[in-house]
Amino acid sequence: MTNQDRALNITWILMDVDGTLTDGTLLVLPDGEELKTYNVRDGLGILLAHLAGLKTGIITGKTSKSLEIRSEKLKITELHQGILDKKPVLVEILERNGLTAQEVAYIGDDLGDLEVVKSVGFSAAVADAHSEIKKHSHFICQNPGGKGAVREFIEFILSTQEKWETIQENVKNLTPKKDLG
């Protein structure tokens, strides 16, 4: 089975956050609050996936208010924070949405992602992922975490599914303020 074959089945894209949607950097403020930066290219990739009719979700070990705001803004369907054991959450997402693992893609960077990487139909490792994650992933991104890896993975799926026309059609119905933040 090729990565093209795998990509054709995908209806959902699940993502890790730290080291995947971010470069892994945390800025810790004196009051303990943690700040992180996201990449607009990844954000647009998520929007493109939605315009193509795909759904997205996040499973992350940490918990932050800023992630809640960002995922609301990006209209991410499933947000699971503070999850140390990610596999049961994957199983729950599959059950609740009536999905098979073959329909789900996942992108991650570190050992906490390993069981999910091994379980989904199409898995990706960011360029600077842990070697175990790279070893078990179908797709190795050229871009590191927080620097367009998520965008690259999403674009591979959308290109393989030939979704660009659908996206262009759906872009016409967007309201810049409401849909693009």
Residues 19, 43, 146, 148: which binds Mg ion (CB under 5 A)? 19
Residues 18, 23, 103, 152: which binds Mg ion (CB under 5 A)? 18
From the number of C-beta atoms within 10 Å of its C-beta (0-12, 13-18, 19+), residue 35 rates as exposed
Q: How far is the CB of 129 from Mg ion (least distance, A)?
A: 9
Of 109 and 152, which CB lies nearer to Mg ion in the complex structure?
A: 109
Q: Residue 16 interacts with Mg ion (CB under 5 A)?
A: yes
Residue with tokens 């490792």: 125
Q: In this structure, are residues 157 and 50 in contact, taking their beta carbons and an 8 Å threshold?
A: no
Q: What is the 3-state secondary structure (H, E, C) of 77-118?
A: CEEECCCCCHHHHHHHHHHHHCCCHHHEEEEECCHHHHHHHH
d(CA 142, CA 11): 23
Query: Which amino acid belongs to residue 176?
Result: P
Q: Residue 146 interacts with Mg ion (CB under 5 A)?
A: no
Q: Which residue is nearest to Mg ion (CB)?
A: 19
Total chain residues near Mg ion (CB under 5 A): 5
Of 42 and 110, which CB lies nearer to Mg ion in the complex structure?
A: 110
Q: Residue 23 interacts with Mg ion (CB under 5 A)?
A: no
Mask for 83-112, x = binds Mg ion (CB under 5 A)? --------------------------xx--
Q: Residue 42 interacts with Mg ion (CB under 5 A)?
A: no
Binding residues for Mg ion restricted to 107-126, rule: CB under 5 A: 109-110
Binding region for Mg ion (CB under 5 A): 16, 18-19, 109-110
